[in-house]
Amino acid sequence: TDHLLGIKYLKKEDINLIFETADHFKEVINRPIKKVPSLRDITIANLFFENSTRTKLSFELAEKRLSADIINFSAGQSSVKKGETLIDTVNNILSMKVDIVVMRHPNVGAGVFLSKHVNARIINAGDGAHEHPTQALLDSYSIREKLGSVKGKKIVIIGDILHSRVALSNIFALQLQGAKVKICGPTTLIPKFITSLGVEVETNLKKALEWCDVANVLRVQHERMDIKYFPSIREYTQLFGIDKALLDSLGKKIVIMHPGPINRGVEITSDVADSDQSIILNQVENGVAIRMAVIYLLAQQIKK
């Protein structure tokens, strides 16, 4: 494929190849010399039209570990503030001879739109409430690392599904790999179309946790929230917050994941997020190897 716009455009074999390549890069970045010269001839622009900590830094580090030249752009400090359009912005950047664009944007479909209008490989680093493909890849990779495989595992995605690009990309990725997926959250935060994707909805948190091997806990997205959708934070925490007492009551050790940033004490308490059942920081660590793999594989297409 020419771009990474969403998991829905990938096949299982693509994911396998990305994981095998990430295995190699994970070994590389644990060496004393963490850098390889593979992409010395490639230039990458990181365009962030929305805030990010993990994704932005992880892409930047992945690019540096591959020896690519990089430029970073944050919309807030740019001429977007003077009214410049997305296509003008990107074409001006591309005229500086850029090969790959990594873009986060608040609008659904921004990556697809860009891929049709500019001459560069596009990697979607999150488009509105649509897809966040590298997050889903690093999530599945982390499950594979922890449990040996994704196939046949029971994963529950908990929380604000309606506003979540992480949920959608995870559903696509997990199903491609043969996992069983359930969704759990307040009905006001679960979109109606979700069951058409072949996932079950469980509104009882304890039942969902008793069923699963892995709980992927999503952030309550205050910034995308409209008051009409939302139980109060207090109600949300009472019904869907995960604390240590609940975790210990399950009679088995499930794996806890969270894409970050965490609202500590809202969707998850600190003693759960920081427990030995949590792989939250392993997810972040794996993000670098996964992004190295994605960039490396796209760059090989350019070189052909």
Residues within the interface to ligand CP (CB under 6 A): 52-56, 126, 135, 259-261
> In angstroms, rounded to a whole number, what is the distance separating the alpha carbons of residues 221 and 181?
22
Distance CA 81, CA 292 (A): 31
- Give residues with Cβ within 8 angstroms of 152, minimum separation 6: 178, 179, 180
The response to whether 219 counts as a known ligand-binding position is: yes
Q: Are 301 and 4 spatial neighbours (Cβ–Cβ below 8 Å)?
A: no
Minimum CB separation from ligand CP for residue 167, in Å? 12
- Minimum CB separation of residue 249 from ligand CP in Å reads 28
Q: Which is nearer to ligand CP, 135 or 216 (CB)?
A: 135
Q: Say whether 55 counts as a known binding-site residue.
A: yes
Q: Is 165 annotated among the ligand-binding residues?
A: yes
Strands (E), 49-184: 69-74, 100-105, 121-127, 154-158, 180-184
Q: Which amino acid is at 112?
A: V
CB of 57 to ligand CP, least distance (A): 8
Least Å distance between CB 106 and ligand CP?
12
Residue 56 labeled ligand binder: no
Which distant-in-sequence residues (6+ apart) come within 8 Å of 297 by Cβ? 17, 18, 21
**Is 37 marked as a binding-site residue?**
no
Q: How far apart are the first and last CA of the chain?
A: 13
Which of 6/126 has CB closer to ligand CP? 126
| Choice between 46 and 55, CB closer to ligand CP | 55
Which residue positions form the known binding site for carbamoyl phosphate? 54-55, 104, 132, 135, 260-261
Which residue positions form the known binding site? 54-55, 82, 104, 132, 135, 165, 219, 260-261
Which residue positions form the known binding site for L-aspartate? 82, 165, 219
